[in-house]
């Protein structure tokens, strides 16, 4: 049976790991949360007590972690994958982190003949559960080809965008578009509401036209129902936009609208909405107007 390591069993990693062992892989899973390991074991995975145990058993290791510092800690710092993995091991980092950090990690792993590709995803928890994530990859063609059978299980599409770091650059572009789209939908639905027009009818009327989008279809019903159960949390989107703004600064790319939406997300965080779905941007407009969309 094919083996794969999986480190990071959070809101996205847990269903992704489950999809891999449902597809026939022997999944060696580790997380700092022991309850998450137990859940994976109960569902059919192999729980591990350490990074060393994962790296010792597998020559393909997926990491799905919150941000750049966590990936560096797990992969290249003392006690990380770099200390225990065999030469030729392929690390598939599916976390969403800063592109320059992906390059930094790749340079360190190369010293030990360990390979890495960055392969962040889009789709949130629902698509992680049903295995239809969009996967954006940076790295070498042969490494992408090796990881492709895993991507075929985890997602509906996987595109090799370019060299290491390109996957995360693509993800940042994705997150900019998603954040701005949610803000635009929130603003437009509030305009309809304040004008005395039913936002539900407005949504039905425009969703099939040029304004329609996957974001609109996924997030508008949540806004209109007042349902902000997280598929992708406000705090995680803050993290992604912070990486986007940092990358924009490094590369000299203006991100004016991104900076504005970042302030909205920061205000939501300050209001205790950090763990809400990012569709809670609508709540910012509700607070400004004193009007509920639901």
How far apart, in whole angstroms, are the C-alpha atoms of residue 231 and residue 54? 28
Residue-by-residue DSSP string for 247-275: HHHHHT---HHHHHHHHHHHHHHHTT-TT
Helix (H, G, I), strand (E, B) or coil at 241: helix
47 pLDDT more than 80 = yes
Which tokens go with 7? Answer: 């480190």
126 pLDDT more than 90 = no
25 pLDDT more than 70 = yes
Instruction: Read off the pLDDT of each residue in 106-126 and give the average, rounded to a whole number.
Output: 95
Which tokens go with 219? Answer: 């997030």
Q: What is the pLDDT of residues 233-256, one digit of tens each?
A: 999 999 999 999 999 999 999 999
100 pLDDT more than 80 = yes
Closest to 138 (Cα-Cα) out of 113, 121, 156: 121
Q: What is the pLDDT of residues 180-223, one digit of tens each?
A: 999 999 999 999 999 999 999 999 999 999 999 999 999 999 99
**CA–centroid distance for 233 within its chain:** 10
> DSSP H helical segments within the chain, as ranges?
13-22, 34-43, 51-57, 68-75, 81-84, 99-110, 124-130, 141-154, 166-194, 199-206, 214-225, 234-251, 256-270, 281-289
How far apart, in whole angstroms, are the C-alpha atoms of residue 160 and residue 164? 10
Mean pLDDT over each residue of the chain, to the nearest integer: 96
pTM score, whole prediction: 0.91
Q: How confident is the model at residue 161 (pLDDT cuts 50, 70, 90)?
A: very high
Q: Is 86 a catalytic residue?
A: no
Please tell me the predicted confidence (pLDDT) of residue 231. Answer: 82
Domain with CATH 1.10.1040.10 in the chain: 169-289
Domain with CATH 3.40.50.720 in the chain: 3-163
How far apart, in whole angstroms, are the C-alpha atoms of residue 212 and residue 18? 32
Q: Which residues contact 140 (CB under 8 A, 6 or more apart)?
A: 115, 117, 163
Overall fold of domain 169-289: 1.10.1040
Please tell me the predicted confidence (pLDDT) of residue 209. Answer: 98
The phi and psi torsions of 16 (rounded to 5 degrees) equal -65, -45
Q: How confident is the model at residue 125 (pLDDT cuts 50, 70, 90)?
A: confident
Please tell me the predicted confidence (pLDDT) of residue 108. Answer: 98
258 pLDDT more than 80 = yes
From 171, 219, 233, 283, the catalytic residue: 171
- Contact by Cβ (8 Å): 202, 195: no
Apex CA 251: angle with CA 170 and CA 91, to 5°?
Answer: 45
Residue-by-residue DSSP string for 26-46: EEEEE-S-HHHHHHHHHHT-E
Instruction: Read off the pLDDT of each residue in 268-291 and give the average, rounded to a whole number.
Output: 98
- Contact by Cβ (8 Å): 97, 67: yes
Instruction: Read off the pLDDT of each residue in 55-80 and give the average, rounded to a whole number.
Output: 97
- Contact by Cβ (8 Å): 202, 224: no
Overall fold of domain 3-163: Rossmann fold (3.40.50)
Please tell me the predicted confidence (pLDDT) of residue 1. Answer: 65
Neighbours of 27 (CB within 10 A): 27
């Amino acid at each position: 049976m094919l083996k794969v390591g999986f480190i990071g069993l959070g809101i996205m990693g847990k269903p992704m790991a489950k999809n891999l062992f449902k597809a026939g892989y022997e999944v060696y899973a580790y997380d700092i949360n022991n309850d998450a390991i137990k859940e994976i074991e109960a569902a059919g995975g192999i729980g591990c007590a350490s990074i060393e145990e994962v790296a010792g058993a597998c020559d393909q290791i997926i990491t799905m972690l919150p941000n750049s510092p966590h990936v560096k800690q797990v992969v290249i710092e003392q006690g990380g994958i770099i200390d225990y993995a065999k030469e030729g091991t392929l690390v598939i980092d599916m976390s969403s982190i800063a592109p320059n950090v992906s390059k930094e990690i790749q340079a360190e792993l190369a010293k030990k003949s360990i390979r890495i590709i960055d392969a962040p995803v889009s789709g949130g928890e629902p698509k992680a559960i049903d295995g239809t994530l969009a996967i954006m990859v940076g790295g070498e063609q042969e490494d992408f080809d090796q990881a492709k059978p895993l991507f075929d299980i985890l997602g509906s599409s996987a595109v090799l965008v370019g060299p290491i770091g390109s996957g995360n650059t693509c993800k940042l572009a994705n997150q900019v578009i998603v954040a701005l789209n949610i803000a635009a939908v929130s603003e437009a639905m509030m305009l309809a509401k304040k004008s005395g027009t039913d936002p539900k009818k407005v949504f039905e009327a425009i969703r099939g036209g040029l304004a329609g989008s996957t974001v609109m279809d996924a997030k508008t019903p949540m806004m209109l129902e007042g349902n902000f159960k997280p598929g992708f949390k406000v705090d995680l989107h803050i993290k992604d936009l912070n990486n986007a703004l940092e990358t924009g600064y490094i590369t000299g790319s203006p991100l004016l609208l991104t900076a504005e939406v970042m302030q909205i997300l920061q205000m939501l965080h300050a209001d205790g909405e950090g763990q809400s779905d990012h569709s809670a941007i609508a709540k910012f407009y509700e607070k400004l107007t004193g009007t509920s969309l639901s």
